[in-house]
Structure 1
């Protein structure tokens, strides 16, 4: 018979694995950004929100705040490092205005987590009090992390294209929310259960959008490639016509010059 603690640990390990996939799911997106040398219409909002979320949850899981939460600390500490790497890449390939805006957000986030850490560890004197304070903050920012793709979802509905909403990120968000909700329900922890249940719902919404606009996205990409091909062909034809025209003009000038010279002589 598996005890509740063992089951919780097993689900927590599974949650760590799924969360790691969630954190790594934007890698194909950043490979595209690196190849194109531009962030194009991609938004930094999901990565900024995830960074803040990971830092807050790391604080929640430390022994002084919420004992026996090693699995919470390991995955969120890892997530913090990964999100910082994404944001650095985003800064490298952004235009100056967007780069400055992202830098300001990162600075505000670091100031916020530093102030929160100092206040919690000095003003709250028991793990229960610290867990409640940081847990409430965690709920707010975890929901923010899961809700951050709403801007991308709005773009999907407007353009009828999922080109800028990566499938693996949406799927990983859903699976991650589901796993951590189960983890929190085994030994009830409302601070983990509530935001991750909300995250699972947002993940379902994104997957439904992906299923709805997948075909129209394929059509748009195919039409764009076809239009580009036709444009390239038209440029070749125009260039060819110009060359032929030049040759005709040169050919017609010869007899006229010769004739004029003869008449003058």
Structure 2
């Protein structure tokens, strides 16, 4: 019987009474991409290598090998987290491809910062690398983060392409190369340790940065006294996703999943508090919109005075 991952490192396998325990057996990190295309179909594995559910998702040996109640709840929470995260990753579609989005207006001026796109992209990339080493236990994180990589890459590309201000271009370059540096370091550490586990540590840190990233717009919110350029949907979904993934991580006893999402719950509450304060105190319109409306009202009043 095979348990755990099927990524192999030399010297880490143990034979036990005719069975092969590969719970700690992994391939080098540099080869993780090769089997990714077969992850979503058990039929892609040879019969003798077909993975079974890990101990975190028990299969009862009764009639038909049905999942027990605990495993069913775990899987339900995991896929609920996947759905919530899908909405989280897709939330910027309106800001990027919508009627008043970056592509249609050919400018990113309606957004305070593109940092969340870069943080989310590298977060997803690191989670793919970590989850790929521990299947089928981490199938849900793997599935959603593969999709997340594609979505976030499209968002950051559009934001960067239509960036015109010098400071904005500098910020994009710093975010891109800073994230790339973290991924390279993660690969180097994993190769030197002959283990996929360090990917989880790096993914954990990047996950916290991703949840924090909407607060990068905080300076703009304070300066303009408006939340118009701080989208609400990602803030709400940060809290929802964090709660679900925290619950899922606790159920499968995975610290790299629990830690960043515990922080995500706190950051989600903080971000929503900031949004609520400024939206109640100053409204949701941009300062230039308020000024334009005030000017229009003043002109209308002057016209009425002149007409009398």
TM range (shorter): 0.7 to 0.9
| Gaps in structure 1 of 5+ consecutive residues | 238-265
8 A contact 2:227–2:286 mirrored in 1: no
5+ residue gaps in structure 2? 1-66
Deviation at 1:99, TM superposition (A): 3.7
C-alpha distance in 2 between matches for 1:232 and 1:66? 66
d(CA) in 2 for partners of 1:195, 1:36 = 35
Answer yes or no: is the 8 Å Cα contact 2:238–2:264 preserved in 1.
Answer: yes
Count of residue correspondences: 232
Cα 1:163–1:219 shift into 2, 3 Å: closer
Task: Give CA-to-partner distance per residue, 1:179-199, whole Å, 9 cap, x none.
Answer: 100001112111100101111
Q: 1:246 is matched with which residue?
A: none
Q: Deviation per CA, 1:52-95, whole angstroms, max 9, x where unpaired?
A: 111111111003x5652111111111101000000111122111
Residue among 250, 256, 275 paired with 1:185: 250
Contact 2:115 2:175 in 1 (8 A): no
Instruction: Write out per-residue CA displacement over residues 195-230 of structure 1, whole angstroms, 9 at most, x where no aligned residue.
Output: 011111111111122222223224666633423425
Q: TM-score, normalised by structure 1?
A: 0.76
Counterpart position of 1:252: none
Deviation at 1:49, TM superposition (A): 0.7
CA distance in 1: counterparts of 2:250 and 2:138, whole angstroms: 15
Ranked by relative contact order (alpha carbons within 8 Å, sequence separation 6 or more), the top structure is: 1
Structure with the larger helix share: 1
CA–CA distance in 1 between the matches of 2:284 and 2:188? 51
C-alpha distance 227-96 of structure 1, shift in aligned 2 (>3 A): closer
The two structures have a TM-score, normalised by structure 2, of 0.66
Answer with 1-10 or 85-94: which moved more.
Answer: 1-10
Partner of 1:223: 290
Which of 36, 46, 57 is 2:127 aligned to? 57
Match in the other structure for 2:91: 25
Instruction: Let me know the Cα RMSD of the aligned residues.
Output: 2.9
Segment of structure 1 superposing worse, 36-45 or 200-209: 36-45
Q: Paired residue for 2:207? A: 142
Residue of structure 2 in register with 1:154 after alignment: 219
CA contact (8 A) 2:112 2:220 kept: no
* Structure of higher CA gyration radius: 1
Secondary structure of 1:227's match? helix
Task: Specify the alignment match of 1:88 in structure 2.
Answer: 157
Report the CA distance shift for 1:232/1:4 in structure 2 as closer, same or farther (over 3 A). Answer: same
